[in-house]
């Protein structure tokens, strides 16, 4: 049992490094969902990322405060309990947002 869980941890950390390398090479810094399905609120803080909320119906984009979520909360699952404050659509997604790698700015919110 111990051996199994140790090898699991190694696999996760390799995957994490791979994700960080991918992000460093993403010069376009598009606002898009991460490929990581199990990213948590705690991961956002470690990677200097913010929690983005986007409506797929009207394209409203906002940042959300993360302090009200437990650290183990899955980033993608937050969207399931939300709707768009502008058009009331349930078709919203939550995802990590990174700074623009060239100028250090966060992508602008849009309504």
| Interface contacts to Zn ion, rule CB under 5 A | 55, 57-58, 60, 84, 86-87, 89
Residue closer to Zn ion (CB basis): 24 or 86: 86
Q: List Cβ neighbours of 49 (8 Å cut-off, separation of 6 or more).
A: 43, 96, 97, 98
Q: Which residue, 26 or 56, is less far from Zn ion as judged by CB? A: 56
CB of 72 to Zn ion, least distance (A): 28
Minimum distance between the CB of residue 75 and Zn ion, rounded to whole angstroms?
19
Cα–chain center distance at 111 = 20
Q: Compute the distance between CA of residue 89 and CA of residue 70 in angstroms, rounded to an integer.
A: 25
């Amino acid at each position: 049992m111990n051996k199994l869980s140790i090898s699991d941890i190694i696999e996760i950390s390799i995957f994490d490094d791979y994700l960080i390398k991918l992000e460093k090479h993403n010069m376009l810094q598009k606002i898009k969902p991460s490929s990581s399905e199990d990213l948590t609120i705690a991961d956002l803080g470690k990677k200097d990322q913010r929690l983005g909320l986007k409506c797929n119906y009207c394209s409203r984009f906002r940042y959300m405060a993360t302090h009200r979520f437990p650290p183990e909360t899955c980033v993608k699952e937050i969207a399931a309990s939300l709707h768009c404050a502008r058009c009331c659509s349930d078709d919203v997604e939550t995802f990590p947002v990174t700074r623009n790698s060239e100028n250090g700015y966060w992508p602008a919110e849009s309504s």
